Structure 1
Amino acid sequence: MVYQHILFAADLIDEDDEPVSRKALELKKMNNSAISIVHAVEIPTGYGDSYEMPVVSQWQKDLEASLMGRLESLAEKIDVDKANIHLKIGPPKNLILDVAQEIGADLIVVGSHGRHGLSLMLLGSTSTAVLHGAKCDVLAVRV
């Protein structure tokens, strides 16, 4: 199968992203595909709003700016246009699938830690949720 648009779901943890980005880049070159990057982070948004705590609001803005900088650096490494970078705030499982649908991705490349048992119940599994919810192919790369 030839993939037209690959979505790389980045963890923004170098040792986790390295094998996943390498595989996404390899598939991009093999298929002459477009590639996009998504990172979704769950932050306790609005926590300080009811108390009008500007410190919390500024912390979130600083975090988002830092994450965007890291995404741009990663995009540069694997030759992804800045227009194809997606930083989302909220549940990663849902937002990765939303971005895939929005951009018309026909492949999602995501890292998998291979958690099971109690650690899976406590930490959840983004890759499993993406695999079961995706309307396109999903490649889970062991990290």
Structure 2
Amino acid sequence: MTTEFKMKRPRQLLLATDLGARCDRALDRAIQLSRAWHAALTVVHAVEQVELIDDEPSWRQPPDAALAIQAELEDELGEAGLSSIDARVLKGKPSEVVLKVAEEVEAELILTGVKRDGALEKALLGDTVTELARQSRVPVLVVKKRLRKPYGRIVVATDLSELSRAALARAVDLFGPDNLVVFHASFAHFASRMDDRVAYESELRSDAIQNCRDFIRDVAGEEAAATMEVMVEYGEPDLLLEKYVQDKQVDLVVVSTRGRSGLLGVLLGSVAMRILDSVACDVLIVRS
């Protein structure tokens, strides 16, 4: 059964921030998407309980951390010039606070940032990012790159399973089919036993490309199947994507997950977390 997907932009975005340098890039991307999609933006920050300092007078005790941080955050966000932006600072475990607020405001997309290795500028996943990726019922956009332009080249990783339909469908919803590349990592089984390995692999590649186009047609329609770029390569998906992202200057990779049960990425087996960790660009995680 063919499903035609039209552009379906989120009406409510949520940015999870720790107010550190790790989330500056995510904040910039959240503001850009909020403007482009005319979506409301809620910014949420979680704080731990502030303990009183023993043997200190009252005026040297810490103020209510949540209220102080919220006031500071609202001042900073006011400079963005967005008409519909809301700041919330709550006490609790970050992932739990973010998911609770996301449900309350009916967020359709959660954005968050990553830590960085200053020496190598490598993005480092934290516990909050991992928990959001595993538990969120709405897509999670993990922002790694500085904002220079709207998303251009977008790669949808797929193993052509029913599970991976969600990634392609949501990518088409958000960005349209024009800039999408469907990326399928395959394995040339028994190639080493073939007399003409090149011809064997070429035939397998042709079949895989046709399967990808059939997959696109089933998810996004005939026009998308005819125009969308398809990339089929042999090898491990995470290693191939890491190189492809670097060589082709990819802005965003989209992957599907099954959420709380099993591995983070049933799509592409056990390598989905490695894709999230290894590629240098932003990653959109879509729950199937």
TM-score normalised by length of structure 1:
0.75
> What's the counterpart of residue 10 of structure 1?
17
How far apart, CA to CA, are the structure 1 residues paired with 2:71 and 2:84? 11
One-letter amino acid of the structure 2 residue matched with residue 106 of structure 1: E
Q: Confirm or deny that 1:32 pairs with 2:32.
A: no
Which residue of 104, 119, 142 maps to 1:140?
Answer: 142
Larger Rg: 2
- Which runs of at least 4 in structure 1 moved beyond 6 Å after TM superposition? none
> What's the counterpart of residue 68 of structure 2?
66
Check conservation: 1:100, 1:108, Cα contact below 8 A. Answer: yes
> What's the counterpart of residue 85 of structure 1?
87
How far apart, CA to CA, are the structure 2 residues paired with 1:108 and 1:127? 10
> What's the counterpart of residue 22 of structure 1?
28
Q: Confirm or deny that 1:115 pairs with 2:124.
A: yes
Q: CA deviation at 1:9?
A: 1.2
> What's the counterpart of residue 106 of structure 1?
108
Check conservation: 1:3, 1:31, Cα contact below 8 A. Answer: yes
- Which secondary structure does the structure 1 equivalent of 2:9 belong to? coil
How far apart, CA to CA, are the structure 2 residues paired with 1:37 and 1:84? 6
One-letter amino acid of the structure 1 residue matched with residue 39 of structure 2: S
Cα deviation, 1:46-105, whole Å, max 9, x if unaligned, reads x55xx9x985xx4251x3333122211232133356872111101001000100000000
How far apart, CA to CA, are the structure 2 residues paired with 1:80 and 1:100? 19
Check conservation: 1:38, 1:85, Cα contact below 8 A. Answer: yes
> What's the counterpart of residue 43 of structure 1?
49
Which residue of 71, 75, 78 maps to 1:76?
Answer: 78
Give RMSD over aligned pairs.
2.7
* Identical pairs, percent: 25
- Aligned residue pairs total 129
Q: Comparing 24-33 with 77-86, which one deviates more in the overlay?
A: 77-86
1:33–1:7 Cα change, 3 Å: same
- Which secondary structure does the structure 2 equivalent of 1:84 belong to? strand
Bigger share in helix? 1
TM-score normalised by length of structure 2:
0.40
How far apart, CA to CA, are the structure 2 residues paired with 1:25 and 1:93? 21
One-letter amino acid of the structure 1 residue matched with residue 43 of structure 2: I
> What's the counterpart of residue 120 of structure 1?
none
> What's the counterpart of residue 119 of structure 1?
none
